[in-house]
Structure 1
Amino acid sequence: MHEESRYKSYEFSGILAGHLQDFIAEKRGLGCIYNTEAKQLSRFSRFSLNYTITPDDLPENLVKDWIAKKPTDSDRNQYSRYSLIGQFARYMVRMGCSAYVPGAGDIGKTHRTFIPYIFTHDEIRALFTVFDSVETPLRSGAPRRKYIIPVLFRLLYCCGLRASEAVSLKGEDVDLEKGVLTIRDSKFGKTRYVPMSAQITARCAEYNKTRLVGIGEDDWFFAAPDGGRYDVRSVYCIFRDSLWKAGISHGGRGNGPRVHDFRHTFAVHCLQRWVSGGEDLTTALPRLSAYMGHHDFSATEQYLRLTSEVYPEIAALMSERYGYIIPEIEGVPDEKD
């Protein structure tokens, strides 16, 4: 992917524009794509126009007003502003500027760490029974849904892919001879290789015989009828409908289950199987971290706690063998992994 299409540009206003652009450049230089964050910081630069500030100062009143909760805010949106402006403030301090670094007390106790929904094995079986029976309605705008959905969701659960990674696969990224997926420019700007089981490779090979080829400029593995890639929003709508058909309740907006919980479930089920089978997790965890494309090892360690909570029958065994690497957490940061 070309750099100009990989990184999006936004306009910055006000006296802090230069600092904001330099901060984003530093993040991108470290391998982060940082498009969502750049867009939010562009909004912050316009917000700052209402304040009297000096070139090398990020004042407390500006920071607090920016992260203050709006009437329509979710906890997640507020925390996103708080986290990002905190990173920018610490950057300014490193650059020798004066900046107010917000603390947890500045957003109260509204933010909570997200607790992923871990599907049981029975729920996974029920969901895939639904996915495998997807039918295409007459006059549907997605006539190939019944071929795509069973394979796409298997990549989410059996390979732990993010939904955005699955729909971004191109034909050249799916090596059916070696059984390996190439995940390009993922969340943290990394490219990684994801081996598939023989069973999943066979599923992909069968689907490959039916997929659209030569439609549009890009050879998307999961191509939409117009030649574009399959849309993540469409995947989510199908997922919500499938939850209902499988008899799995949804907790409402922000509470899950979510499509991303297939990825969490993949990790927990792997750990459950490894612990039950006597695998050495001190060597298995680094492999899982690399396989899932985690930004750092701490994201993978959090699944140890989740596994012990979801499967209490192996909790004592995990504590005895690996208690020294099980973190004390309430959940995992939403969408950080």
Structure 2
Amino acid sequence: MTALRQALEDYLRLRRSLGHKMAEAAWLLPDFVTFLEERGQTRVTVAAALAWVKEREGKVVTTVSLRRITAVRGFARYLSGTDPATEVPPLGLLPHRQRWRQPFLYSDTDITAVMSATTLLSPPLRAATYRTLIGLLAASGLRVGEAINLDHDDIDWTEGMLRIRETKFGKSRLVPLQPTAVNALREYDTLRNQVTPRPTDPAFFVSRTRRRLIYAVVSPTFRQLITTARVGTEAPHPPRLHDLRHTFAIRTLLHWYRAGVNVQAKIPSLST
């Protein structure tokens, strides 16, 4: 084991002992260390970090690119305490201007096609994980991060309710589900328990390593499914995971208008 890889293990152990989950960093940083080792580099440099991101993500800066740099920045800060020659990637290193873009609105056929494309994933548990995750996002309007962060104990099977902890704005809330959505979650739960009878991770949705899913893996997998299902091939922008949330909101508003309810009075409940 190289000194750099040992330092990475020490860094992850320390951060976890302080209460940080480090799931994404634990997936991204070993690949970064491998990238450095293959090039005979023993220190983290800004140039190496940029080269790694470019090789893995291409020239276009995406949110995953930013997550990669953020992971390296934390590791580099740790290393700089013992090796002053370590270069810490500064904030704003990757130019990324957040721009509003018109969301892609999924039809029922689109959602069915994307969920059906999961049958090509392997092993069967991985296929079921993504099929159920996408179905839940479409049926509930959750943010993808909220769905990924669900623990098994966050599901109230009797009441058909999800407990969403520490959301985007630091608050928690309860999200009711239709019986069909609860049944789909129960079917996945049964399969997951068969494959992993005594899971060590409390996460409801698990990866091939039986650990919690992370966005840096979910996002490219979803893009793969979109391509396979040929959804949005003529759209000006490719469909995104977050567009499932937009679709849920718009469908709900249209349903309320058609039902003749007071939409303005119900919008606060939709926003939460």
Amino acid at match of 2:207: A
* SS of the residue 2:118 aligns to: coil
Alignment coverage as a number of residue pairs: 191
Amino acid at match of 2:205: F
CA distance in 1, matches of 2:106, 2:191: 32
1:213 offset after TM fit, Å?
4.3
**Higher normalized helix content (fraction of residues):** 2
Change (3 A) 1:227 1:246: closer
Instruction: Tell me, yes or no, if the aligned pair for 1:151 and 1:203 is still in contact at 8 Å.
Output: yes
* SS of the residue 1:229 aligns to: coil
The residue that corresponds to 1:244 in the other structure is 227
Change (3 A) 1:116 1:174: farther
The runs of 5 or more residues in structure 2 that have no matched partner are 1-15, 23-66, 78-90
Whose relative contact order is higher, 1 or 2, with alpha carbons under 8 Å and at least 6 apart?
2
The residue that corresponds to 2:257 in the other structure is 275
Change (3 A) 1:6 1:234: closer
Who wins on radius of gyration, i.e. which is larger? Answer: 1
CA distance in 2, matches of 1:219, 1:160: 23
Residue 95 of structure 2 corresponds to residue 114 of structure 1: no
Q: Deviations over 1:93-146 (max 9, x none)?
A: xxxxxxxxxxxxxxxxxxxx503413142xx42332331342355xx5x54122
Instruction: Tell me, yes or no, if the aligned pair for 1:161 and 1:263 is still in contact at 8 Å.
Output: yes
Change (3 A) 1:149 1:241: same
Residue 97 of structure 2 corresponds to residue 75 of structure 1: yes
1:231 offset after TM fit, Å?
2.4
CA distance in 1, matches of 2:243, 2:178: 21
Instruction: Tell me, yes or no, if the aligned pair for 2:161 and 2:176 is still in contact at 8 Å.
Output: yes
CA distance in 2, matches of 1:7, 1:219: 12
Residue 172 of structure 2 corresponds to residue 188 of structure 1: no
1:190 offset after TM fit, Å?
1.1
Match of 2:185 among 182, 204, 207: 204
1:153 offset after TM fit, Å?
0.7
Q: Give runs of aligned pairs for residues 41-60 of structure 1, distance below 5 A.
A: none
CA distance in 1, matches of 2:114, 2:245: 19
TM-score (norm. length: structure 2): 0.60
Match of 1:264 among 228, 246, 249: 246
1:285 offset after TM fit, Å?
0.5
Residue 205 of structure 2 corresponds to residue 222 of structure 1: yes
The runs of 5 or more residues in structure 1 that have no matched partner are 9-35, 47-65, 77-112, 291-337
1:7 offset after TM fit, Å?
10
1:180 offset after TM fit, Å?
0.4
Instruction: Tell me, yes or no, if the aligned pair for 1:220 and 1:229 is still in contact at 8 Å.
Output: yes
CA distance in 2, matches of 1:264, 1:149: 19
Residue 187 of structure 2 corresponds to residue 173 of structure 1: no
The residue that corresponds to 2:113 in the other structure is 129
Change (3 A) 1:173 1:282: same
RMSD over aligned Cα atoms: 3.2
